[in-house]
Amino acid sequence: MKIGIIGTGYVGLPTGVGLAELGNEVVCIDKDEEKIKSLKSGKVTIFEDGLEDLFKKNIQNEKLKFTSSMEEGVKNADVVIIAVGTPPHPVTKEADMKYIHQAAEELAQYINGYTVVATKSTVPVGTGDEIEAIIKKTNSKAEFDVVSLPEFLREGFAIHDFFEPDRIVVGTNSPKATEVIKKLYEPFEGKAEILFVKRKSSETIKYASNAFLAMKIHYINEMADFCEKSGADVFEVAKGMGLDNRIGKRFLNPGPGYGGSCFPKDTNAMAYMGKKYGAPLSLIEATIRGNDLRKTQMAMRIIKAVEGIDNPKIAIWGLAFKNGTDDVRESPAMQIVEQLLKNNARLCVYDPKAVANAKKILGDKVEYASSELKAVKNADAVAVLTEWDEFSKVDLQELKKQMKTPKIVDLRNMLKEKNPVNMGFEYYCIGAN
């Protein structure tokens, strides 16, 4: 099939690469000329495991093309996928729809023959109706249907999740569009559940899922606080809870709070919609408040660990919002770093992938190290903020040798099993004493 994808970010690019690998002819469109220039020259613009090889392979076999021209990407397409950002509105925190509306208006002009317009961006309930109206108004002759195709990929695992999805959700009110989408997802038949629902249900499924996961994270974080005070151990509690199939093991790791480009904005957008429709979502509202507060609480733990030390140097391990990605958007690690800076902390930071993105925000306010051991040289404490695998493999003897004062504030509980206390570290983890 011929597919146009509008937006080549963390969703659009892996989706384009994946669909090309399945044999479709894909044209990725972005209005960011720099991004397109880089992609055209064969350079991937984001880090995702396994992305680069497939990207290069499909450019070479001419299944994957890049352009900044909407016309080029849309005019021959059977399916046009919208994957532009839906950032939070700075004041109301509802989803800001300006990029979606713009994309709909721009693509409408080039629709040529029956085209399915599929929204992969996370969008509020009723957006399908809005896009439909915009296209009709801009191009009254256009033959098209709008479907909702929410994206569930996890950053850091985008390629894996593209080829091995848990489920594919399609929201459509049109039998004709249903046939087109069935053909698009034919390679997944028998591999993943493909759920066809009403367009508004599909739009809601995405927000309801993300808000539920965010609540689960916040729940175990509050449980961790409870365990610290009561003398229980949150690891044991999480394990015991997770063995219940109704609860499940995943998303029960306590930490510094959820972040990233999705959970914070999607919980806020869902809470906003609850108010808008007169159906308040109090659990989600409490989750948002608690998660915001958590970052400050975590920064305070680090500050407390170096209390009494004159002009302490703190090493930071991890800046990305989670492992496997270079994305620092709404990263708890970055928010904690900012709070530490407000408290005049002297920081040396390290992240295996996210330093370039972090530098754009932190500039020269921190020192940058090229490895975890270089970051801790003469440090009075190290704070583990992102769950990169390599942090759990660090040699504690070597770590101790490099540090001025052996203190670890492990907000990801990555070193607990190595028993740092036995090796002479002052060690603080989450949810256990």
* Site residues for ligand NAD per CB under 6 A: 6-12, 29-32, 35, 83-86, 99, 102-103, 106, 121-122, 151, 153, 155, 261-262
Q: What are phi and psi of 318, to 5 degrees?
A: 105, 125
Residue nearest to ligand NAD (CB): 9
- CB closer to ligand NAD out of 30 and 228: 30
- Least Å distance between CB 74 and ligand NAD? 10
d(CA 212, CA 210): 5
Cα–Cα distance list, 244 to 63, 224, 226 (Å): 45, 19, 21
Q: What are phi and psi of 26, to 5 degrees?
A: -115, 130
Q: Where are the beta strands (DSSP E) in 157-258?
A: 167-171, 193-197
- Least Å distance between CB 260 and ligand NAD? 7
**Which tokens in the block code for residue 254?**
């306590």
CA end-to-end distance (rounded Å), the chain: 57
Count of all residues that appear for the chain in the document:
433
- CB closer to ligand NAD out of 104 and 302: 104
**Contact of 152 with 166, CB cutoff 8 Å:** yes
d(CA 356, CA 302): 24
**Which tokens in the block code for residue 2?**
């011929």
d(CA 381, CA 5): 46
Tell me which residue of 224, 350, 356 sits closest to 298, measured CA to CA.
224
- Least Å distance between CB 35 and ligand NAD? 6
- Least Å distance between CB 421 and ligand NAD? 37
Amino acid sitting at position 262: C
CA angle 83/91/97 to nearest 5° reads: 25
Which residues lie across from 66 on neighbouring strands?
A: 28
- Least Å distance between CB 353 and ligand NAD? 15
Torsion angle, alpha carbons of 200, 107, 17, 25, to 10? 110
- CB closer to ligand NAD out of 9 and 254: 9
Which residues are designated catalytic? 262
- CB closer to ligand NAD out of 73 and 254: 73
- CB closer to ligand NAD out of 38 and 173: 38
Tell me which residue of 159, 178, 148 sits closest to 83, measured CA to CA.
148
- CB closer to ligand NAD out of 121 and 331: 121
- CB closer to ligand NAD out of 6 and 111: 6
- Least Å distance between CB 315 and ligand NAD? 28
- Least Å distance between CB 296 and ligand NAD? 25
Tell me which residue of 352, 404, 344, 414 sits closest to 380, measured CA to CA.
404
